[in-house]
Amino acid sequence: MNEVKISKFLSLVLRHQPEQIGLVLDQNGWASIDELIALANVRGTNLSRPQIQSIVENSDKQRFAISADGMKIRANQGHSVDIALGLAPHTPPEQLFHGTATRFLDSIREIGLHSASRQHVHLSSDRATAEKVGSRHGNPVILTVETGQMARDGRLFYVSENGVWLTDAVPAQYLQLPDTD
């Protein structure tokens, strides 16, 4: 199995459906690497520790982390399962960015950004990353988020291990949206 397919499989079981292979995540989203490998292999997905290590170390998106003792793995963010990443709040820069598709703009204008099935709204430090994210969903549009003002207004922000900024929601008044007329 190639690394892209393995990465997608890891995303599925570490972020959304660990029960699909019988995997149990702890309250912080960590899973035993040995258990992950054994359960995946029994269910027809051949995994090895070197493959997992390579994906964690070489992925440009850095979606996963291995614990300091090398025994556990977790997704850095993007969970739809209920876990606590254990991240401390951080003060964000004045502005961050969110990439989305133009077809979502009407809804965003009305209700802002919400995490939907995930635990957090994901924000990027730079426009290029936000554009990559938005292009996965269709014709991309980059939203500027007034995160400094949000923080001053009491909203909390976190930074995942791979540098993605996380927050519970972004009300519409904190968004700079492009004109579509």
List the one residue out of 177, 173, 157 whose CA is nearest residue 77: 157
181 band by pLDDT with thresholds 50, 70 and 90: very low
List, for residues 110-154, the tens digit of each pLDDT value: 999 987 767 789 899 999 989 988 888 788 899 999 999 999 999
Question: Could you give all domains of the chain from N- to C-terminal order, each with its CATH number?
Answer: 3-75 (1.10.10.970), 96-176 (3.20.170.30)
CA atoms of 50 and 177, how far apart (whole Å): 44
List, for residues 49-79, the tens digit of each pLDDT value: 999 999 988 877 788 989 989 999 988 877 7
